[in-house]
Amino acid sequence: MKVLVTGVTGYIGSHTAVELLAEGHDLIGIDDFSTSSPKVKHDIERVAGRPFTLLDLDLRNRCEVECLLASGEFDAIIHFAGRKFVGESVAEPMQYYERNLAASVSLAAAAQRHEISHVVFSSSCTVYGQPTQLPVTEETPIAPVSPYGRTKAMTETVLQDLCDATPSASVLALRYFNPIGAHPSALLGEVPSGPPNNLLPYIMQVAKRVRPFLNIYGGDYDTHDGTCIRDYIHVVDLARAHVLALDRAAETTGFEALNLGTGIGSSVLDVLEACEKATGRAIPHQIVDRRPGDAASMFADPSRAQQLLGWKAEANLPEMCLDHWNFERNLDVDALSA
């Protein structure tokens, strides 16, 4: 298929681009490079062994989006573009509603006008808020507690309404749990702009002595070691799921939401221990006060994705941490300390 990939040079977008190219799909990628670099194109092509087209385009520019979709003859869209940090969304909610929700509505409307029926949407487990029962299934109530989570839930509603109004449309909303790791080639991975908001990049920067220590927010949760538990999934496993979701979107109609996780919960201290083994270095850390809104535990029931896509996460936590470290240790230290 000829696929439009938004946010293609981002962390998950770049890994998915590799998998799509490996499967023979033709890619047109777009990005505004607000949190990534156009240099990632070279790394994607180097890993995949195939070229693709990259355009500098902001989804908020409706005229450019309209022109692209009018001329592109696309078979499908995989939509990653948007902001993704819970804390930032609380401080800057209007940016999130503009970049995540309004831009997605504009893209969906243009896709409908140009009869692009197949969409895979990058959603998030944050749509569930703080679930009271585990593991989290797709039937768990949608109850987001942050502007970020609400933009994902609202975009899902928009896409579901699009499917209801367009009998030929098919949308798969993939609800990610906690992506970590990097491509085994060590050429692609997560490159934060400024201080990391996610656990693994921060741990790795402490391991590299870019940052002095890791703050662990809360050590008195009702978990096996008192720290929060999350479902960590290798970014390449996540990328593979998008290719399978694209295949399913081409064969079905309607809206489906799928959890993407391992089904295994790991605590912050579990991850820290795995990272110390992967890096061979002690990682200084301290327990500080809890952050408002953090759930004690969150992990997926990924059985529906296995049933409908034939997909299952393969990498374990030590493998994820080792791949993340192999990529991270090759990054420029000055760039990380920005």
Distance, CA of 32 to CA of 99 (rounded, Å)? 11
Residue (of 125, 128, 78) closest to 239 by Cα position? 78
Three-class SS of the chain: CEEEEECCCCHHHHHHHHHHHHCCCEEEEEECCCCCCCCHHHHHHHHHCCCCEEEECCCCCHHHHHHHHHHHCCCEEEECCCCCCHHHHHHCHHHHHHHHHHHHHHHHHHHHHCCCCEEEEEEEHHHHCCCCCCCECCCCCCCCCCHHHHHHHHHHHHHHHHHHHCCCCEEEEEEECEEECCCCCCCCCCCCCCCCCCHHHHHHHHHCCCCCCEEEECCCCCCCCCCCEECEEEHHHHHHHHHHHHHHHHHCCEEEEEEECCCCCEEHHHHHHHHHHHHCCCCCEEEECCCCCCCCEECECCHHHHHHHCCCCCCCHHHHHHHHHHHHCCCCHHHHCC
97 catalytic, yes or no? Answer: no
Packing angle of the helix pair 11-22, 40-48 (nearest 10 deg): 30
Task: Choose the catalytic residue: 96, 128, 148, 221.
Answer: 148
Q: Catalytic positions, please?
A: 148
